[in-house]
Amino acid sequence: MKTIANIIIPGLFLFSLSIQAQTTKVLPNTSITGDSLSLAQIIKTVINEHPSVKEAEEVITIADARIGLARSGYYPNVDASISYSRVGPTPPLAFQGMDFHLIPADNYNGSLNYSQVLYDFGKTRKNVGLENENKVLAVKKADLVKQKLSLLTANTFYMMVFLQEAIQIKDKELQALKEHQTLVEKKRATGSATQYESLTTKVKISATESQKLDLETSLKVQQTTLKSLMGLPVTANTAVKQEYSQSMSLVVEDSLLSYAFTHRLEMDVTREKESITGLQYQLVKSQNNPVLSAFASGGGKNGYVPELNQVKLNFVAGVGFKVPLFDGHRMKYNLIQSKSDVNNASFETEISKRNITNEVIESEASCVSAMQKIKQNELQLSLAEEAFSLAKVNFGTGAITNLDLLDAENVVSESRLMLLKSRVDYAVSTFKLNVSLGNKMF
């Protein structure tokens, strides 16, 4: 793991991308005109507008509601009720030749009822704690969605950077080829060039035009992908800035992997899942705890002897203590299931560690390789341009043919494309290294 420190960044740089919006604000459903868009602008728009982010944020809203629902166990239940009932027949009670009724035929009752759990031996407290952890998990999952969208956006952005500049390189190559074609036709008219040279130049022009068409088609595909990510209409104009490097901040760490294990959102998510499954296990264990509660009810009703039809005030109040004795083994099997969930969460954490290890090492190797290729391709382009300069001198003196000059110029064009690709690869690799280390890219 020391390779990247020695080759790419002395000490050890952990890259961080600043994605503050520039002067142009990108709005959805509007055509983009004027200056090209930077990666920071695009990522900000994607994070603000993509439905996956909004969906993840709705989960946070639901989590807030579930916390409130769990906390409702701390509060009393209060309700009011009113009823009327007609009873018949009402049997009389005979006493000394007189009939007495013990209940009225028309019964009225109104009451205000109150009930409150006084103590449930931790069930409500554990339920609230569980829902709070679920909210933390929802927030981390939302951040993970944003991180993945940022990486997808960066890949699309840098592909467009490459394609835009590659098309410009091909345009310059076509311009040079057509100038050569004009020169060959003039020489052929004077007899100093052959038909073979003319046909070969035309073939090169046709091949280059075909390559340019392929690049333009690929660019349209990437533009469509970018518009979809940003929530723009298909008619919007999109162009990206030709930027490659990532801004960097210096952080000294003993190990890339230890840094990644501490900062990766995936590790945060799996740790939260472990915490949640542990809380769920404790909550299941408390389900059969006793419950101490209080109740009270007061109101007015008729039916009191001797004035059966007179409504009188009444009340009832008391306390209750409920102790579950047998639940049909439900708690036993719920505990087995919860314990299995705890074990699965632990396994998921280990799987995440292994995946992160692979991603960090792969990203590091890609950065090292891309850096080396940049140096090699810069040297190759320098040599190709020098060779082309010599070829122009030799062509002017008649030492080489027009086709030799075309070959030298083609090497320069291909060297520029290779250098462009290596720079884009390096930018993508550093972005992926940021993501693999857990640095937020949004």
Give 357's contacts (C-beta < 8 A, 6+ positions apart). Answer: 257
Q: What is the rounded average pLDDT of the residues 109-115?
A: 95
Token pair for 34: 């004027």
List the domains of the chain with CATH numbers. 3-437 (1.20.1600.10)
Backbone angles phi, psi at 27, to 5 degrees: -110, 145
pLDDT for position 29: 38
pLDDT for position 256: 87
Length of the chain: 442
Question: Please, are residues 43 and 442 in contact by the beta-carbon 8 Å criterion?
Answer: yes
pLDDT for position 172: 93
Q: What percent of the chain has pLDDT above 70? A: 88
pLDDT for position 252: 40
Q: What share of the chain is helix, strand, coil (3-state, %, to 5)?
A: 65, 15, 25
The residue assigned the tokens 């998921």 is 348
Strand partners, 317: 296
Backbone angles phi, psi at 108, to 5 degrees: -120, 140
pLDDT per residue as tens digits for the range 301-315: 988 877 888 889 999
Provide the pLDDT confidence category of residue 15 given band limits of 50, 70 and 90. Answer: very low
Instruction: State the Cα–Cα distance between residues 426 and 433, nearest whole angstrom.
Output: 10
Q: How far is CA 375 from the centre of its chain?
A: 34
Q: What percent of the chain has pLDDT above 90? A: 67
Q: Give the amino acid at 400.
A: I
Of 14-23, 136-145, 152-161, 346-355, least confident by mean pLDDT is 14-23
Provide the pLDDT confidence category of residue 431 given band limits of 50, 70 and 90. Answer: very high
Question: Please, are residues 47 and 21 in contact by the beta-carbon 8 Å criterion?
Answer: no
Q: What is the rounded average pLDDT of the residues 149-170?
A: 95
Q: What is the rounded average pLDDT of the residues 89-108?
A: 75
pLDDT for position 73: 92
Instruction: State the Cα–Cα distance between residues 55 and 59, nearest whole angstrom.
Output: 7
- Position 2 pLDDT exceeds 60: no
- Position 244 pLDDT exceeds 80: no
- In this prediction the pTM is 0.81
pLDDT per residue as tens digits for the range 187-226: 888 877 788 888 888 999 999 999 999 999 999 999 999 9
pLDDT per residue as tens digits for the range 359-411: 999 998 999 999 999 999 999 999 999 999 999 899 888 788 888 888 999 99
The DSSP letter of residue 237 is: -
Number of H helices, E strands in the chain: 9, 8
pLDDT for position 33: 40
What b/e string do you get for 399-431 counting C-beta neighbours within 10 Å, with b at 16 or more?
ebbbbebbebbbbbbebbbbbbbbbbbbbbbbb
pLDDT for position 95: 64
- Across the chain, mean pLDDT equals 86
User: How much is the CA Rg of the chain, to the nearest whole Å?
Assistant: 39
**Sheet strand arrangement including 312-322:** 77-86, 106-119, 291-301, 312-322
